[in-house]
Structure 1
Amino acid sequence: MSTENKAQDPMEFMRSMWSKMGFSLPGMVTPTLDVDELDKRIADMKAVENWLKMNLSSLQMATQGLEMQRATIATMQAMSKLAAEGGKAPEGEASQPNPFASSMWPWNLMQNAAEQAKAKAEAAPAQASPAKSKAKDGK
Protein backbone atom coordinates (compact mmCIF):
# COMPACT_ATOMS: atom_id res chain seq x y z
CA MET A 1 0.00 0.00 0.00
CA SER A 2 2.81 2.39 0.64
CA THR A 3 3.88 2.18 -2.99
CA GLU A 4 0.38 3.16 -4.11
CA ASN A 5 0.51 6.38 -1.99
CA LYS A 6 3.89 7.34 -3.48
CA ALA A 7 2.56 6.94 -7.00
CA GLN A 8 -0.38 9.21 -6.26
CA ASP A 9 1.75 12.01 -4.67
CA PRO A 10 3.00 14.18 -7.60
CA MET A 11 5.88 15.70 -5.60
CA GLU A 12 7.15 12.30 -4.62
CA PHE A 13 6.85 11.16 -8.23
CA MET A 14 8.95 14.18 -9.35
CA ARG A 15 11.56 13.49 -6.66
CA SER A 16 11.91 9.92 -7.73
CA MET A 17 12.29 10.97 -11.39
CA TRP A 18 14.97 13.57 -10.58
CA SER A 19 16.87 11.25 -8.25
CA LYS A 20 17.09 8.59 -10.95
CA MET A 21 18.88 11.14 -13.17
CA GLY A 22 21.66 11.53 -10.62
CA PHE A 23 20.92 14.95 -9.15
CA SER A 24 18.46 16.33 -6.67
CA LEU A 25 15.27 18.22 -7.35
CA PRO A 26 15.93 21.92 -8.14
CA GLY A 27 15.17 24.51 -5.48
CA MET A 28 12.59 26.28 -7.66
CA VAL A 29 10.32 23.26 -7.61
CA THR A 30 10.64 22.69 -3.87
CA PRO A 31 11.49 26.01 -2.19
CA THR A 32 13.26 25.79 1.12
CA LEU A 33 11.75 27.03 4.33
CA ASP A 34 15.10 27.22 6.12
CA VAL A 35 16.01 30.87 6.86
CA ASP A 36 19.74 30.10 7.05
CA GLU A 37 19.65 28.46 3.63
CA LEU A 38 17.82 31.49 2.22
CA ASP A 39 20.41 33.85 3.76
CA LYS A 40 23.17 31.78 2.15
CA ARG A 41 21.46 31.95 -1.25
CA ILE A 42 20.92 35.72 -0.91
CA ALA A 43 24.59 36.21 -0.03
CA ASP A 44 25.62 34.09 -3.04
CA MET A 45 23.35 36.06 -5.37
CA LYS A 46 24.72 39.39 -4.08
CA ALA A 47 28.27 38.14 -4.61
CA VAL A 48 27.42 37.22 -8.21
CA GLU A 49 25.71 40.61 -8.69
CA ASN A 50 28.80 42.47 -7.44
CA TRP A 51 31.05 40.38 -9.67
CA LEU A 52 28.87 41.18 -12.68
CA LYS A 53 28.87 44.91 -11.82
CA MET A 54 32.66 44.84 -11.59
CA ASN A 55 32.89 43.15 -14.99
CA LEU A 56 30.44 45.67 -16.46
CA SER A 57 32.58 48.55 -15.15
CA SER A 58 35.70 46.97 -16.62
CA LEU A 59 33.96 46.51 -19.95
CA GLN A 60 32.77 50.13 -19.98
CA MET A 61 36.26 51.41 -19.19
CA ALA A 62 37.78 49.27 -21.94
CA THR A 63 35.19 50.56 -24.41
CA GLN A 64 35.88 54.18 -23.46
CA GLY A 65 39.61 53.60 -23.81
CA LEU A 66 39.13 52.19 -27.30
CA GLU A 67 36.90 55.12 -28.25
CA MET A 68 39.56 57.58 -27.08
CA GLN A 69 42.23 55.66 -28.98
CA ARG A 70 40.09 55.73 -32.13
CA ALA A 71 39.47 59.48 -31.82
CA THR A 72 43.19 60.14 -31.32
CA ILE A 73 44.17 58.06 -34.33
CA ALA A 74 41.51 59.69 -36.52
CA THR A 75 42.74 63.15 -35.49
CA MET A 76 46.36 62.26 -36.18
CA GLN A 77 45.42 60.86 -39.60
CA ALA A 78 43.51 64.04 -40.45
CA MET A 79 46.45 66.19 -39.36
CA SER A 80 48.94 64.17 -41.39
CA LYS A 81 46.62 64.35 -44.41
CA LEU A 82 46.54 68.14 -44.08
CA ALA A 83 50.31 68.26 -43.76
CA ALA A 84 50.76 66.03 -46.82
CA GLU A 85 48.46 68.28 -48.87
CA GLY A 86 50.54 71.29 -47.89
CA GLY A 87 47.64 73.23 -46.42
CA LYS A 88 45.56 73.24 -49.59
CA ALA A 89 41.88 73.57 -48.76
CA PRO A 90 39.31 71.49 -50.63
CA GLU A 91 37.32 73.25 -53.34
CA GLY A 92 34.71 75.65 -52.02
CA GLU A 93 36.46 76.24 -48.68
CA ALA A 94 38.56 79.23 -47.68
CA SER A 95 42.28 78.59 -47.81
CA GLN A 96 44.04 78.94 -44.49
CA PRO A 97 47.72 78.53 -43.79
CA ASN A 98 48.49 75.11 -42.42
CA PRO A 99 50.55 75.33 -39.22
CA PHE A 100 51.34 71.59 -39.49
CA ALA A 101 52.93 71.78 -42.94
CA SER A 102 56.42 72.12 -41.49
CA SER A 103 57.97 69.65 -39.12
CA MET A 104 59.19 72.63 -37.10
CA TRP A 105 55.76 74.17 -36.53
CA PRO A 106 56.25 74.68 -32.75
CA TRP A 107 59.45 76.60 -33.41
CA ASN A 108 57.79 78.70 -36.11
CA LEU A 109 54.84 79.40 -33.85
CA MET A 110 57.14 80.62 -31.05
CA GLN A 111 59.16 82.71 -33.51
CA ASN A 112 56.03 84.42 -34.83
CA ALA A 113 54.85 85.18 -31.29
CA ALA A 114 58.26 86.66 -30.40
CA GLU A 115 58.27 88.82 -33.55
CA GLN A 116 54.78 90.10 -32.80
CA ALA A 117 55.74 90.96 -29.21
CA LYS A 118 58.85 92.80 -30.46
CA ALA A 119 56.79 94.76 -32.99
CA LYS A 120 54.31 95.79 -30.28
CA ALA A 121 57.16 96.86 -27.99
CA GLU A 122 58.71 99.00 -30.75
CA ALA A 123 55.35 100.54 -31.64
CA ALA A 124 54.54 101.56 -28.05
CA PRO A 125 57.42 104.13 -27.63
CA ALA A 126 56.78 105.52 -31.13
CA GLN A 127 53.16 106.25 -30.19
CA ALA A 128 54.14 107.77 -26.84
CA SER A 129 56.75 110.18 -28.30
CA PRO A 130 54.30 112.30 -30.44
CA ALA A 131 52.09 112.74 -27.39
CA LYS A 132 55.09 114.03 -25.38
CA SER A 133 56.10 116.47 -28.13
CA LYS A 134 52.58 117.92 -28.24
CA ALA A 135 52.62 118.35 -24.47
CA LYS A 136 55.95 120.25 -24.66
CA ASP A 137 54.68 122.52 -27.47
CA GLY A 138 51.59 123.42 -25.47
CA LYS A 139 53.60 124.78 -22.49
Structure 2
Amino acid sequence: MSADFNPADPFAMFRQFWQNAAPSSAQPFMPPLTEEEIDRKMAELRVVEGWLTMNLGMLAMQIKALEMQKAGLAAMKPKDH
Protein backbone atom coordinates (compact mmCIF):
# COMPACT_ATOMS: atom_id res chain seq x y z
CA MET A 1 0.00 0.00 0.00
CA SER A 2 1.02 3.54 -0.57
CA ALA A 3 2.36 5.64 2.29
CA ASP A 4 -0.37 8.18 1.43
CA PHE A 5 -3.18 5.66 1.89
CA ASN A 6 -5.83 6.90 4.30
CA PRO A 7 -8.76 4.52 4.93
CA ALA A 8 -10.79 7.44 6.29
CA ASP A 9 -10.68 9.15 2.86
CA PRO A 10 -12.72 7.05 0.41
CA PHE A 11 -12.00 9.45 -2.48
CA ALA A 12 -8.21 9.43 -2.17
CA MET A 13 -7.83 6.87 -4.96
CA PHE A 14 -9.94 8.98 -7.36
CA ARG A 15 -8.13 12.17 -6.42
CA GLN A 16 -4.78 10.48 -7.09
CA PHE A 17 -6.06 9.16 -10.43
CA TRP A 18 -7.12 12.65 -11.59
CA GLN A 19 -3.89 14.26 -10.37
CA ASN A 20 -1.81 11.73 -12.29
CA ALA A 21 -3.86 12.08 -15.49
CA ALA A 22 -2.04 13.78 -18.31
CA PRO A 23 -3.36 17.24 -19.29
CA SER A 24 -4.13 15.97 -22.80
CA SER A 25 -6.47 13.38 -21.33
CA ALA A 26 -8.61 15.78 -19.34
CA GLN A 27 -11.64 13.66 -20.19
CA PRO A 28 -10.32 10.07 -20.09
CA PHE A 29 -13.81 8.51 -19.99
CA MET A 30 -15.43 10.73 -22.63
CA PRO A 31 -13.61 10.67 -25.97
CA PRO A 32 -14.49 13.36 -28.50
CA LEU A 33 -17.62 12.40 -30.42
CA THR A 34 -18.76 13.23 -33.91
CA GLU A 35 -22.22 14.70 -34.50
CA GLU A 36 -23.46 11.31 -35.73
CA GLU A 37 -22.14 9.57 -32.62
CA ILE A 38 -23.82 12.15 -30.41
CA ASP A 39 -27.15 11.67 -32.26
CA ARG A 40 -26.87 7.88 -31.93
CA LYS A 41 -26.02 8.11 -28.23
CA MET A 42 -28.95 10.48 -27.60
CA ALA A 43 -31.31 8.08 -29.39
CA GLU A 44 -30.02 5.17 -27.29
CA LEU A 45 -30.48 7.17 -24.09
CA ARG A 46 -34.04 8.12 -25.10
CA VAL A 47 -34.84 4.42 -25.56
CA VAL A 48 -33.45 3.68 -22.09
CA GLU A 49 -35.40 6.64 -20.66
CA GLY A 50 -38.62 5.28 -22.19
CA TRP A 51 -37.95 1.82 -20.79
CA LEU A 52 -37.26 3.23 -17.33
CA THR A 53 -40.38 5.41 -17.48
CA MET A 54 -42.49 2.38 -18.42
CA ASN A 55 -41.01 0.36 -15.55
CA LEU A 56 -41.62 3.22 -13.13
CA GLY A 57 -45.27 3.28 -14.20
CA MET A 58 -45.58 -0.48 -13.72
CA LEU A 59 -43.96 -0.19 -10.28
CA ALA A 60 -46.39 2.58 -9.29
CA MET A 61 -49.32 0.41 -10.43
CA GLN A 62 -48.07 -2.53 -8.35
CA ILE A 63 -47.73 -0.31 -5.28
CA LYS A 64 -51.28 1.02 -5.77
CA ALA A 65 -52.63 -2.52 -6.22
CA LEU A 66 -50.96 -3.65 -2.99
CA GLU A 67 -52.29 -0.59 -1.15
CA MET A 68 -55.81 -1.42 -2.37
CA GLN A 69 -55.38 -5.07 -1.37
CA LYS A 70 -54.20 -4.03 2.10
CA ALA A 71 -57.15 -1.64 2.47
CA GLY A 72 -59.52 -4.41 1.39
CA LEU A 73 -58.08 -6.81 3.95
CA ALA A 74 -58.31 -4.14 6.65
CA ALA A 75 -61.98 -3.49 5.74
CA MET A 76 -62.86 -7.19 6.03
CA LYS A 77 -61.03 -7.67 9.31
CA PRO A 78 -63.46 -8.13 12.24
CA LYS A 79 -63.49 -5.19 14.58
CA ASP A 80 -62.89 -5.80 18.28
CA HIS A 81 -65.29 -3.98 20.57
- Residues in 2 aligned to 1:58 and 1:47: alpha-carbon distance in whole angstroms: 17
Paired amino acid for 1:10 = P
**In the alignment, which residue of structure 1 is the partner of 2:52?**
52
Q: How does 1:72-91 map to 2 (within 5 A)?
A: 72-77=72-77, 81-82=78-79
Structure 2 gap ranges (5+): 1-21
Aligned-pair identity (%): 36
Q: How does 1:1-139 map to 2 (within 5 A)?
A: 10-11=23-24, 14=25, 25-27=28-30, 30-32=31-33, 34-77=34-77, 81-82=78-79
**In the alignment, which residue of structure 1 is the partner of 2:13?**
none
| CA drift at 1:31 | 3.4
Structure 1 gap ranges (5+): 1-8, 16-24, 91-139
- Residues in 1 aligned to 2:32 and 2:73: alpha-carbon distance in whole angstroms: 56
CA RMSD of aligned residues (A): 2.2
| CA drift at 1:39 | 0.8
- Residues in 2 aligned to 1:31 and 1:60: alpha-carbon distance in whole angstroms: 39
- Residues in 2 aligned to 1:58 and 1:26: alpha-carbon distance in whole angstroms: 34
Higher Rg? 1
| CA drift at 1:63 | 0.3
Select the structure that is richer in helix: 1
| CA drift at 1:26 | 1.4
Paired amino acid for 1:31 = P
Count matched residues.
Answer: 59
TM-score using structure 2 length: 0.62
SS at match of 1:26: coil
